[in-house]
Amino acid sequence: MGLILIFIYAFFKFSWAYRLFNYVAILLGAMPPASQKGTPEAEAHVIRTTRLFESAGQHFNRGQRSFFFALGYLGWFVSPWVLFVTTAMVVIVTWRRQFASNAWKAMGS
């Protein structure tokens, strides 16, 4: 039952992220021309687009992380102790990928 709930959560997060990324594509296509940059309307459009992009990325990340934790949850089928170990491993690997990776360094963080 737990895995089913995790996969349902992941499905809806990915589906919503997909929809938001489509909205972002539409807003990028509707960007005002360069001759209008610096106008209040153009700046408002850029802010709207970046906020939507950020929201889409957050939903995508949550969907992806739910799949990672579904792997950890598989330990439950062996024993509660294995669940603890597999979940801890997922947390460690996710943390390393998020904050101690070459990609993180490349972003200048």
* Block residue for tokens 């330990």: 75
Phi, psi (degrees; rounded to nearest 5) at 17? -60, -40
Total Cβ atoms within 10 A of residue 45: 17
Q: What percent of the chain has pLDDT over 70?
A: 99
Q: Of all residues in the chain, what percent carry a pLDDT higher than 90?
A: 73
pTM for this one? 0.79
pLDDT in tens, 42-80: 999 999 999 999 999 999 999 999 999 999 999 889 999
